[in-house]
């Protein structure tokens, strides 16, 4: 079927208010959009004050709309029909456009025309009537309501062509990617951390994922699950870096030392130390986790306090006061939920003591750590053996060979 749409109109969000950053923010969106449109070479980007237009030029509207909905900083997208700036063309286009919409038994509407090109012979006000009349004649279901219409047909008359649109599709919003700095995300295979990562990205952070695995105690499938989660997050970024950290030696060094109820505390502190080192290498300035206050023993205030002392970087916990039910809803919305609930074990669920402490003592924790032989060397080794991959949304998993080589993109664009 012939698509009724010729263009997409992308509107920018709250950052447009912030005067001197605006250029930088708009540039970031432009770069992001350009990267996402690479598979659609005929699509052209037109930049305008506070907006972008994508001239589809024959490229398919639905998949393009789907990827562009994920661009942070874009609040809404309207599919646009384009016609010549001649009265007859505009009214015919309006009838055709509205005819393709789903109209109820009675649908209220208004026309909101704007004459951008002042040489056009009819004023905006006249155009509202000139377009509205044939619509009322053609569609008996339509009724005018200028205050609160169900359909507001916007018509922008420009010198060369006229744009018509009425739908407004919600997009990701927030701040453009990477415009507020870079952070490391502790990504487990659970429900919370991917949502925390999304929230951080939506706030303008470039996020790199760090995952700890304990092969052979955790399976290849558990690792693939995390790669898949990073893949879903990369749909919002174009690509994402994932650091896979071997954690077996460190984890096993905490067992059998007679401090079982502190194992999780030690593990989390080791994770933060390693992540801080990776952050330094990558120039990241914060660590993001999926912690939510009181959810488990390691997420009580005393636990978070003792764990957090293992790093000097700010710990960002976007979900700290969010209820589990709301986290689940967000996970469903961003597309990570179905993968997160796959049953593969996380390294933290192994060796979990019967009664992990909810109130660890910092001095005792530090003292025990100091007596562990070679902990620092093990941390150094884990950093050294960390494998870094760049994940893209279209990456295919091959369970026998791990990742398919050709789908791991090397170049960086953000």
Q: Are strands 161-165 and 169-170 parallel, antiparallel or unpaired?
A: unpaired
* Residue choice 35, 130, 296, 350 for contact with ligand ATP (CB under 6 A): 296
Is 128 a binder of ligand ATP (CB under 6 A)? Answer: no
Strand order in the sheet with 387-391: 315-316, 287-288, 182-186, 206-213, 240-246, 387-391
Is 191 a binder of ligand ATP (CB under 6 A)? Answer: yes
* Residue choice 91, 179, 188, 339 for contact with Mg ion (CB under 5 A): 188
Whether the CB-CB separation of 149 and 109 falls below 8 Å is answered with yes
Q: Which does 252 bind (CB under 5 to 8 A by kind): Mg ion, ligand ATP, none?
A: none
Shortest Å, Cβ 267 to ligand ATP:
8
Please enumerate in sequence order all residues whose Cβ is within 8 A of that of 318, keeping only pairs 6 or more positions apart, or say none. 195, 196, 199, 200, 203, 288
Query: What is d(CA 89, CA 114) in angstroms, rounded to the nearest whole number?
Result: 16
Q: Are strands 107-115 and 151-157 parallel, antiparallel or unpaired?
A: parallel
The residue count of the chain comes to 414
Is 223 a binder of ligand ATP (CB under 6 A)? Answer: no
Q: Which does 30 bind (CB under 5 to 8 A by kind): Mg ion, ligand ATP, none?
A: none
* Residue choice 83, 348, 375, 390 for contact with ligand ATP (CB under 6 A): 348
Is 211 a binder of ligand ATP (CB under 6 A)? Answer: yes
Please enumerate in sequence order all residues whose Cβ is within 8 A of that of 26, keeping only pairs 6 or more positions apart, or say none. 12, 47, 176
Query: What is d(CA 189, CA 307) in angstroms, rounded to the nearest whole number?
Result: 20
Find the part of the chain contacting ligand ATP (CB under 6 A) among 234-242, 345-353, 376-384, 392-400.
345-353
Q: Which does 296 bind (CB under 5 to 8 A by kind): Mg ion, ligand ATP, none?
A: ligand ATP
212 marked among binding-site residues:
yes
Is 274 a binder of ligand ATP (CB under 6 A)? Answer: no
For the chain, what is the total number of helices (H) and then of strands (E)?
Answer: 13, 17
Find the part of the chain contacting Mg ion (CB under 5 A) among 109-117, 133-141, 329-337, 345-353.
345-353
Shortest Å, Cβ 337 to ligand ATP:
11
Q: Are strands 387-391 and 142-144 parallel, antiparallel or unpaired?
A: unpaired
Query: What is d(CA 382, CA 264) in angstroms, rounded to the nearest whole number?
Result: 18
Find the part of the chain contacting ligand ATP (CB under 6 A) among 138-146, 170-178, 207-215, 390-398.
207-215
Find the part of the chain contacting Mg ion (CB under 5 A) among 129-137, 154-162, 338-346, 360-368.
338-346
Q: Annotated binding site for ATP, which residues? A: 186-187, 211-212, 268, 290, 299
């Amino acid at each position: 079927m012939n698509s009724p749409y010729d263009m997409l109109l992308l509107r920018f969000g709250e950052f447009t208010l912030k005067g001197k950053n605006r250029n930088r923010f708009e540039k970031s969106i432009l770069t992001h959009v350009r990267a996402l449109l690479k598979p659609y070479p005929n699509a052209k980007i037109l930049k305008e004050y506070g907006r972008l237009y994508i001239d589809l030029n024959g490229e398919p509207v639905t998949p393009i709309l789907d990827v562009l909905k994920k661009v942070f900083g874009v609040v809404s997208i309207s599919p646009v029909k384009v016609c010549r700036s001649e009265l007859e063309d505009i009214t015919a286009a309006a009838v055709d456009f509205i005819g393709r919409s789903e109209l109820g038994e009675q649908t209220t509407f208004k026309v909101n025309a704007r004459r951008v090109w002042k040489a056009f012979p009819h004023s905006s006000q006249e155009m509202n009537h000139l377009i509205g009349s044939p619509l009322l004649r053609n569609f008996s279901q339509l009724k005018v309501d200028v205050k609160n219409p169900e359909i507001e047909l916007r018509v922008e008359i420009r010198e060369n062509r006229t744009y018509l649109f009425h739908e407004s599709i919600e997009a990701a919003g927030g701040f453009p990617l990477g415009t507020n700095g870079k952070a490391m995300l502790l990504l487990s295979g659970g429900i919370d951390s991917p949502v925390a990562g999304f929230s951080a990205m939506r706030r303008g952070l470039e996020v790199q994922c760090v995952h700890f695995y304990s092969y052979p105690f955790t399976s290849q499938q558990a690792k693939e699950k995390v790669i898949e989660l990073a893949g879903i997050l990369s749909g919002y970024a174009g690509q994402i870096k994932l650091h896979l950290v071997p954690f077996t030696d460190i984890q096993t060094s905490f067992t059998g030392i007679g401090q079982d109820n502190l194992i999780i505390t030690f593990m989390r502190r080791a994770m933060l130390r390693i992540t801080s080192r990776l952050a330094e290498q990558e120039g990241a300035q914060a660590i993001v986790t999926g912690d939510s206050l009181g959810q488990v023993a390691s997420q009580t205030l005393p636990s978070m306090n003792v764990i957090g002392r293992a790093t000097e970087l700010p710990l960002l916990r976007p979900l700290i006061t969010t209820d589990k039910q709301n986290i689940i809803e967000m996970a469903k919305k961003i597309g990570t939920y179905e993968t997160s609930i796959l049953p593969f074990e996380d390294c933290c669920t192994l060796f979990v003591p019967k009664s992990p402490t909810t109130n660890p003592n910092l001095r005792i924790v530090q003292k025990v750590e100091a007596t562990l032989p070679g902990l620092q060397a093990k941390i150094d080794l884990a950093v050294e053996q960390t494998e870094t991959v760049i994940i893209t949304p279209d990456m295919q998993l091959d369970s026998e060979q791990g990742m398919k080589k050709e789908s791991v993109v090397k170049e960086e664009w953000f």
